[in-house]
Amino acid sequence: MDHFQYRDGELCAEAVPIRRIADDVGTPFYCYSTVTLERHYRVFTEALTGLDALVCFSVKANSNLAVIATLANLGAGADVVSGGELKRALVAGVPADRIVFAGVGKTTDEMAAALKAGILQINVESAPELEMLAQVATSLGREAPIGIRVNPDVDAHSHVKITTGKRENKFGVPLADARELYRRAAKMKGIRVAGVAVHIGSQILTLEPFREAFRRTAELTQALRADGHDIRWVDLGGGLGIPYENETPPTPAEYGALVKSVIGPLGCRLILDPGRLIAGNAGVLVSRVLLVKAGATHDFVIVDAAMNDFIRPTLYNAHHAIVPVRESADGAVSKEVEVVGPVCESGDTFGRTRRLPAIAGGDLIALRTAGAYGAVMASAYNTRPLIPEVLVRDDAYAVVRERISVDDMLARETLPKWLATGTRAKRKAGR
Ligand code: LLP
């Protein structure tokens, strides 16, 4: 359930007409709904009632400071995967003892920053990483609270690019090697064993892969305890899918019931790091139609957003509903069109066969369910600067990341001495 609905024929974000934001801010832009973010966080945490669970929003899904702060205000922690995300979480007001640092490769600087901040847990994914972390921690005179991320060899049956828990994936430590690595970790100076972590992928649409991964993780946890390790935390990752088209993923309540039955008996404190589930339906990408072009086989609706702004459709063949901002009249004639951006690649398409009502240059459209893995994955390809992000709350909205200008981009580039002295290059660079 989201809060992007038509009111008087106009698509609104909560009580704010999208058109108003477009007129003020320009297009394209991402627009997020506070009420939707809050609702998703509450529904998820309520599904875990009775468990000692900490929900760490997976910041990689949407790392805007205002989005993180909205969730932090409700008590959310953060799952981060880089020094940059760590900084964002801290700046947005997430207490350090609610931050978990995951990822298959961390630099020593990132490790040091996490240790200095005093975060809850660093999830380690290999023996060499464990050794690096021990060194960094001892050089700082600290102890790193660690979880070891295990690879349970479970197929999440998701898109191949976002499946992480199979043995051939780069993630985690094979279950068979985990006990030995914990044995080593327990003896290392600078390391304190705190937990176990698992994450098998994203956009998972059935409970079965979770059940299997959790069962294997629970078994390992018991074995580790029998080995004498003080396992306090079990981090179950994220991954619960959401509907983009007509999928019917398990509900948070069903997921929560599974966690309770498989992991509950361990009596551990739990970390869950959902990203998509919280932010996906809480955002849309708004774009303006530049023109409609009649192609040899079908019409192209060319819009001012492109694959650099939103890469999910081309990268994962992901379906995102495309709707007109002005509601089409009942019975209006619709036509099958391809909605594309202006970038010079045939892959720059948002939907190859979409039924849209008559649409013309100047009209606004919205790509739904773009709140997760949207703005965060944008690039400046084709020198198309990053676009703004807007957060709505009830009848108010705020630009929470401003549009970058081309001049901002160029200001970060310099000509080397041998070119800067050449008059032609200088003239061309406008300097
Ligand atoms: N925890 C860990 C350790 C993760 O690696 C991820 C996502 C999450 C939690 C959050 O997963 P979620 O609840 O959002 O499924 N860019 C891709 C998704 C990549 C997910 C990477 N890891 C997409 O647009 O579909």
Atom 8, ligand 1: residue with shortest CA distance: 238
Rounded distance from Cα 282 to ligand 1 centre (Å)? 16
**Residue 302 neighbours by CB distance under 10 Å:** 18
From the CA of 329, how far away is ligand 1's center (Å)?
38
Query: Does any ligand 1 atom lie closer than 6 A to the CB of residue 61?
Result: yes
Residue 426 lies in a domain: no
Instruction: Using pLDDT thresholds of 50, 70 and 90, give the confidence band for residue 425.
Output: low
**Over the stretch 372-391, which tens digit does the pLDDT of each residue have?**
999 999 999 999 999 999 99
Q: What is the mean pLDDT of residues 151-177?
A: 89
Do residues 245 and 358 share a domain?
no
Give the ligand 1 atom nearest the CA of 275: 14
343-362 as b/e: b if 16+ CB within 10 A: beeeebbbbeebebeebeee
Question: Residue 302: inside a domain, yes or no?
Answer: yes
Confidence band (pLDDT; 50, 70, 90) for 193? very high
- End residue of a domain, out of 279, 304, 334: 279
Instruction: Name the residue with the closest Cα to ligand 1, atom 16.
Output: 373
Mean pLDDT of 220-237: 97
Which tens digit of pLDDT belongs to each residue from 70-97? 999 999 999 999 999 999 999 999 999 9
> Do 288 and 269 have their domain in common?
no
Q: Is the CB of 312 under 6 A from ligand 1?
A: yes
What gap in Å lies between CA 226 and CA 173, rounded to an integer? 20
**Residue 56 is a catalytic residue:** no
Tokens of 377: 């994955």
In a domain, 420, yes or no: no
Residue 353 token pair? 């066969």
Ligand 1 centroid distance, CA of 45 (Å): 18
pLDDT reading at 431 higher than 50:
no
Q: Which domain holds residue 264?
A: 34-279
Average pLDDT, the chain: 95
Q: Which atom of ligand 1 is nearest to the CA of 372?
A: 24
Indicate which atom in ligand 1 lies nearest the CA of residue 61: 14
Catalytic residue chosen out of the listed positions 31, 56, 268, 344: 344
Q: Are 171 and 151 in contact (CB under 8 A)?
A: yes
Q: Indicate the pLDDT class of residue 190, thresholds 50, 70 and 90.
A: very high
Of 353, 361, 350, the closest CA to residue 336 belongs to: 353
**How many domains is the chain built from?**
2
Does ligand 1 lie within 6 Å of residue 172's CB atom?
no
CATH number for the domain harbouring residue 309: 2.40.37.10
Measured in Å, residue 60 CA sits from the centre of ligand 1 at 7
- 92 and 167 co-located in one domain: yes
Ligand 1: does its nearest atom lie under 6 Å from the Cβ of 276? yes
Res 429: pLDDT: 53
| Integer Cα distance of 64 and 376 in angstroms | 8
pLDDT band at 427 (very low <50, low <70, confident <90, very high): low
Share of the chain above pLDDT 70, in %: 97
Q: Both 263 and 294 in a single domain?
A: no
Q: Is 277 touching ligand 1 by the criterion CB < 6 Å?
A: yes
Question: In sequence order, what DSSP letters do the residues of 88-124 get, joined into one string?
Answer: HHHHTT--GGGEEE--S---HHHHHHHHHHT-SEEEE
Going from the Cα of 203 to the center of ligand 1, the distance in angstroms, rounded, reads 8
Cis peptide before 28 (omega within 30 of 0): yes
| Ligand 1 site, residue 235, Cβ cutoff 6 A | no
Which of 41, 57, 58, 106 should be mutated for ligand 1, with most atoms under 8 A from CB? 58
Q: Does position 308 have pLDDT exceeding 70, yes or no?
A: yes
Instruction: Please indicate whether residue 273, judged by its CB atom, sits closer than 6 Å to ligand 1.
Output: yes
Residue 423 lies in a domain: no
Q: Tell me the CA–centroid distance for residue 237 and ligand 1, in Å.
A: 9
Of 256, 279, 302, which residue is a domain's last?
279
In 3-state terms, what secondary structure has residue 378?
coil
Statement to judge: residues 288 and 393 lie in one domain: yes
Q: Supply the residue whose CA is at minimum distance from atom 2 of ligand 1.
A: 237
User: 6-20, 43-57, 230-244, 417-431: which range is least confident on average?
Assistant: 417-431
Give the integer Cα–Cα distance in Å for 42 and 32. Answer: 17
Identify the band that residue 428 occupies on the pLDDT scale cut at 50, 70 and 90. low
pLDDT band at 2 (very low <50, low <70, confident <90, very high): confident
Query: Cβ(62) to ligand 1 under 6 A?
Result: no
Which CATH number belongs to the domain containing residue 145 in this structure? 3.20.20.10
Residue 161: per-residue pLDDT: 85
Q: Are residues 205 and 151 in the same domain?
A: yes
Let me know if residue 431 belongs to a domain.
no
Whether 419 is covered by a domain: the verdict is no
User: Residue 51: is its pLDDT beyond 60?
Assistant: yes
Are 396 and 286 in the same domain? yes
Residues 189 and 274 occupy one common structural domain: yes
151 and 61 assigned to the same domain: yes
Ligand 1 contact via 315 beta carbon (within 6 Å): no
Residue 266 is assigned to a structural domain of this protein? yes
CA distances from 237 to 54, 172, 189, 200, 241 (A): 11, 12, 27, 8, 13
Q: 173 and 49, same structural domain?
A: yes
Res 421: pLDDT: 74
Q: Is 203 in the pocket of ligand 1 (CB under 6 A)?
A: yes
**Is it the case that residue 234 has pLDDT exceeding 60?**
yes
| Among 279, 297, 321, residue at a domain's last position | 279
pLDDT in tens, 17-32: 999 999 999 999 999 9
Residue 428 falls inside a structural domain = no
CB atoms within 10 A of CB 282: 31
Are 311 and 270 members of one domain? no
pLDDT band at 165 (very low <50, low <70, confident <90, very high): confident
When mean pLDDT is compared across 157-161, 293-297, 351-355, 386-390, the lowest value belongs to 157-161
Atom of ligand 1 minimally distant from the CA of 197: 3
**Cα–Cα distance for residue pair 193/21, rounded to 1 Å:** 49
Angle subtended at Cα 260 by Cα 183 and Cα 372, rounded to the nearest 5 degrees: 90
Residues 234 and 327 both lie in one domain: no
